[in-house]
Amino acid sequence: MDDIYKKICTLLKSGEVVLFIGLPCQVAGVKNYMQMQKVSGKLYTVDLVCHGTPPPKYLKDHIAWIEKKTGKKAKSLYFRDPCYKTDKFAFTIYDVSHESIFEQTNLLSKKPTYIKYVGDNDLYQIGYHNALIYRECCYNCIYARAERSGDITLGDYHGLGKMSGYDHERNQVSCVLINTEQGKSLWTVLTQNVHIASHERPVDEPLTYEKQLKTPSVAPPDRSVFLEKYKESQNYNVSAAIAFSSYVKKNRIAKMFPVRAIKLNIIRAIPRPVKEALKDIRRKNSSGRGLK
């Protein structure tokens, strides 16, 4: 990050407008560095809702394991490959000859050498999505709260339609929190000049249903098992295969008996007006109980 700080500093000094997008701790770091250097200028910051970040060594180990398994050298990777829709959480790796080219047509021009979804028992996916492999500081993160470090906050929208009616597009909807006047002016420019479908929502909705806007991730008991095994082997996949065995077993059972998938398909089959009407009734009942 040191090089990034210096580059931003140089750009601001030369009068350039800078947009920095990063994790809340990274945004705070950039702003603190500029203050220390007594550099002012047009710096816009966007923080991402973050669950935690693993040490880079874990991912390097995992990529090396995949390269050995596939016999191909990794060139690029995606944790949410847009070619497979970002809400599907497709973890993909492309080699040199089949690097992904994501075009406006949303068509996949090349096939990945490795693709795994959350329930496919990829050990890195298991570790990340179950909060097993983050840095220790992430479990005590001071930025996992409603007060944000950036001018704008971006994240997945959890709780959409829970507090008031919503009859617009529901696939791949992002939550945008405007935190400062500077963020408000930037968002106004974007919505006026770029094709962005924007709908104002009750701010309490994402603040209620997105856990990371209230509290840091909690380390599960199996994390200590993983750390112990990793200390012995210094190899991510060897350690994860032992420590995450119960998660692997659970995923296998879920594939054999896809109760959740069946439930989701039933919900999707219900017409949207019916679902919205039921939600309205539920909201009215909830507010009625609150008044008593």
Q: For residue 213, what pLDDT band results from cuts at 50, 70 and 90?
A: very high
Q: How many residues can be counted in the chain?
A: 292
Q: Report pLDDT for 290.
A: 53
Q: Report pLDDT for 105.
A: 45
CA distance 121 to 290: 43
Mean pLDDT of 180-200: 93
Mean pLDDT of 86-97: 90
Which residue did the predictor score with more confidence, 80 or 272? 80
Residue 241 reports pLDDT greater than 80: yes
Q: Report pLDDT for 138.
A: 98
Structure tokens at 222: 């199996």
Q: For residue 259, what pLDDT band results from cuts at 50, 70 and 90?
A: confident
Residue 5 reports pLDDT greater than 80: yes
Mean pLDDT of 230-249: 98
Mean pLDDT score of the chain: 90
Q: Report pLDDT for 185.
A: 96
Q: Report pLDDT for 186.
A: 96
Q: Is 131 left (phi over 0), alpha (psi -120 to 50) or beta?
A: left
Q: For residue 62, what pLDDT band results from cuts at 50, 70 and 90?
A: very high
Mean pLDDT of 38-66: 97
Q: For residue 103, what pLDDT band results from cuts at 50, 70 and 90?
A: very low
Highest mean pLDDT (candidates 238-247, 255-264, 277-286): 238-247
Q: Report pLDDT for 289.
A: 58
Neighbours of 168 (CB within 10 A): 9
Structure tokens at 232: 């012995």
Kindly report, residue by residue over 26-40, the tens digit of the pLDDT: 999 999 999 999 999
Report the share of the chain in percent with pLDDT over 70: 92
Mean pLDDT of 97-124: 74
Q: Report pLDDT for 1.
A: 67
Q: For residue 291, what pLDDT band results from cuts at 50, 70 and 90?
A: very low
Q: What does the chain look like in DSSP terms, one character per residue?
A: -HHHHHHHHHHHHTT--EEEEE-HHHHHHHHHHHHHTT--S-EEEEEEP------HHHHHHHHHHHHHHHTS-EEEEESS-GGG-GGG--EEEEEGGG---B-TT--B-S--SEEE-GGG--HHHHHHHTT-SS-GGGGG-TT-SSS-SSSEEEEE--STTSSS---S--TTPEEEEE-SHHHHHHHHHHHHHS--------THHHHHH-GGGTS-----THHHHHHHHHHHH--HHHHHHHHTHHHHHHHHHHHHS-HHHHHHHHHHHS-HHHHHHHHHHHHHHHHHHHH-
Contact between 49 and 157 (Cβ < 8 Å): no
Contact between 242 and 235 (Cβ < 8 Å): no
Q: Report pLDDT for 2.
A: 65
Q: Report pLDDT for 106.
A: 46
CA distance 138 to 131: 10
Strands 114-116 and 152-156, bridge-based pairing = unpaired
Of the listed ranges 26-40, 46-60, 166-180, the least confidently predicted one is 166-180
